[in-house]
Amino acid sequence: MRLLPPLPVREILPALGGALDHARSVVLSAPPGAGKTTLVPLFLLDQPWARNGKIILLEPRRLAARAAAGRMAELLGEKPGETVGYRMRLDNRISAKTRIEVVTEGVFTRMILDDPELSGVSAVLFDEFHERSLDADFGLALALDVQSALREDLRIIVMSATLDVERVSELLGNAPVLKSEGRSFPVEIRHETRNLSESVEDAVVRTITEAHRSEAGSILAFLPGQAEITRTAERLSGRFGNNTMVVPLYGNLGQKEQDSAIRPAPPGTRKIVLATSIAETSITIDGVRIVIDSGLQRLPVFEASTGITRLETVRVSRASADQRAGRAGRTEPGIAIRLWHAGQTAALAAFTPPQILASDLSGLLLDLAHWGVADPSSLAFLDPPLEATLREARGLLVALGALDVQGALTPRGRRIRDLALPVRLAAMAVSAAEENQAAEACLIAVMLTEQGLGGNGLDIEERLRRFRSDRGERAEAARGLARRMAAGLGGARTNGARALPGPLLMHAFPDRIALQRGGRGRFVMANGRGAEVPETERLAAAEMLVVADLTGRAGAQRVLAAAEINRAEVEVHMPEAIVREEQSFFDRTSRQVRARRVTRLGAIIFEEAPMPRPTGEAAARALADGVRQLGLATLSIPKDVQQLRDRIGFLHRSIGEPWPDMSDTALLSRLEEWFVRFQGEAGGIDGIKGRDLAEGLLSLVPHDLQRDLGRLAPTHFEAPTGQRHPIRYEGDEPLLSIRVQELFGLKTHPTIGNGRLPLLLELISPGHRPIQTTRDLPGFWAGSWKDVRADMRGRYPKHPWPEDPANAAPTTRAKPRGT
């Protein structure tokens, strides 16, 4: 065994070697500071089955990947790029002698999709798997697929400090589980409850100040995002003198700034690192022995209904809280101060929600099509993707021309998939290449996918100008990536003029082309949803925009990034998107069907002119849309039609299919079947006829069952008096409301359905007030009748109240005078 540092995980390395001699997969759980990230890959290099292959180590973030590779190279007395290297989107240090490749999770997904056999790879290690990124889940599913079908010799190791080991072991075919106990140094957990009226920045500043005064060592404070870090840094500026540095650490920083944040403080000084969750795992910030945890994190949440991914500030999980606390014990005994009450820890979610349940899945679906998988359920996902989100993703990919209607990858889809970009931006680049604007499009795409390039302003055109002039290392690397992408698409710009961002972005976001409507800063998008630009922004005055990023929930969406366009540009670059047609529509104000001739782009109406009121199917469809808007309650349904609906609905609830569901939800979803076909005459809600509604509802009942409707659920009950009384079916059981005198002489309980189902009788007095309900009329005659008779005969002396009603004559009348 190589001479490895005496970290806790070293004790279980022999067991790990033995397990991998007999098992293809292993789950390894080791607490923060145990050394799993650096020691396990180095240990595996010398295993007999790995001596001729590479070890691939997946890390969730670039910072962690660079740090892990650097630490392993240091232990070998080398520099990154020799035995140990790393590979990520904008940077890589790999050579012919590299045997351990530390890669970001997205890079691994591209590797395995492009080389399904993972040629020359002996083992794949999924580090910090508890973070459950979409790329990690997908990468593991692909690796398991390769292992089972192509590479039985491939070893897979899933590692984390905080992991649901039982579920992961089961996913890996009941793989053995190894646990490394203990961390390098003990960590004392303290709690400082934050007042709800106190901002998170003020609470962190207060806690940092106290900890800096009372404790030795550097401090790592976790905040939810860049904005909070910036405000906290401003509050701390100049507070501690020259012997303490305050440094930020978040994803938008360049490599030099990130590396500076994790570098040890100069001798005789201290460091305060203000970090997002980027510092939660896989890195050691030398000198840190105090962790201050705000208990908050910012997570992306995708809403399939709006197509928007918004960032939400939420409570951390218990797993994340443990990871953060562990940062304090990496190099010496430490302290973790949590800004919440100790009792609240138990209420935290056990693990961070997996991204696969809250992400745009268009990229995943495109990669699956490339892999040859139409049904994601055929792969081993720890949490399968949601069908609603997959459905939205399929729709987008078909609209962008990446998939055909059968879900197969198109030639255009292959070009889109070959670009390491989000699907929409890749589609833009492919379209731009056809107009000799690949260079411009790729530059915009890379800028939008690398947070902070060109700033964070709303105006993409302005951001692009800043990005072009940025001479920083990160910007230079990003521009180099864009050039390579453009070259792969066949080209540099050849027409001599730089394209504006707006016309290019239309190909990425055709559904988010927006027209100003309702005043400055208020826009309606082609997808029918509204979006707002702050009135102080230049783009608030634009006539049209294409929106690349926005946040908020449906109905209150705020634009985060957009570019100005005009209608002429839409007509030149996307002429097929502009439609001229005659429309029939429902006017909600008048509750009438109208018609117009329009020129539109999706839901955006450029011009319209009124037309004569429509008739026939067009009118019926518009009327159905009105019913969807207003609900079934807007229909004046006659009593007999409502009873028909209730009867059929009762049979559906009691018998089931094929008797149709008559609930509002079900009927609204089937308006095309029962409403549109039977509404050729009505021009508005008030013109809808009851007979047409009845005919439509009955049409949902299979023809061979319609004759059974009267037998199983009759409309009326014929009393012994010969009178017919309606049966009500809207409740859980059929109800007959009837004056008790009409049932005299009846010795059996009334039933329907060939005698199988008793009616619920609501017996009423001559004054039409309920006396009693019963499901057993003979039992009522023999039991409760005596008390009812004693009470009722005094109230209604003119009506008969015989002692033996089962043998009395039924009647609808009062007693004759004088009796």
List pLDDT tens digits, range 395-426: 899 989 999 988 889 999 999 999 989 999 99
| 336 and 200 in a common domain | yes
Mean pLDDT of 52-79: 91
Residues 553 and 441 in one domain: yes
How confident is residue 494, by pLDDT bands cut at 50, 70 and 90? very low
Residue count of the chain, please give it: 819
* Last residue of one domain, picked from the residues 141, 160, 179: 179
Do residues 676 and 740 share a domain?
no
645 and 696 in a single domain? The answer is yes
Helix (H) or strand (E) holding 724, with range, is strand 724-728
Together in a domain, 444 and 475: yes
Q: Considering the entire predicted model, what is its pTM? A: 0.73
Inside any domain, residue 198 = yes
User: 30 and 168, same structural domain?
Assistant: yes
- The contacts of residue 621 (CB under 8 Å, 6+ apart) are 584, 676
Is residue 742 included in any domain, yes or no?
yes
Residue 162 lies in a domain: yes
State residue 817's pLDDT score: 57
| Assigned domain for 348 exists | yes
Of 575, 571, 429, 600, nearest to 505 by C-alpha is 429
Instruction: Kindly state the percentage of the chain with pLDDT values over 70.
Output: 97
The verdict on residue 636 lying in a domain is: yes
Domain that holds residue 554: 419-577
Please, what is the average pLDDT of the chain? 89
Residues 206 and 327 in one domain: yes
49 burial via Cβ count (<10 Å: 0-12, 13-18, 19+): middle
Residues 129 and 25 in one domain: yes
Over residues 128-138, mean pLDDT: 90
pLDDT at 182: 61
Residues 152 and 207 placed together within one structural domain of the fold: no
Among the candidates 512, 547, 577, a domain finishes at: 577
Q: Which helix (H) or strand (E) holds 716?
A: strand 716-718
Domains of the chain: total: 5
Q: Which tops the pLDDT comparison, 518 or 597?
A: 597
Residue with tokens 């349904």: 637
pLDDT of residue 73: 93
Contacts of residues 612-617 at CB distance under 8 Å and 24 or more positions apart, as own/partner, are 613/683, 614/584, 615/680, 615/681, 615/683, 616/680, 617/676, 617/680
Q: Are 700 and 722 within one domain?
A: no
Q: Does residue 160 sit in the same domain as residue 74?
A: yes
For residue 171, being part of any structural domain is answered with: yes
Listed in sequence order, the residues at least 6 apart from 358 whose beta carbon sits closer than 8 Å to its beta carbon are 299, 300, 301, 302
The verdict on 170 and 60 lying in the same domain is: yes
CA–CA separation, 686 and 267 (whole Å): 85
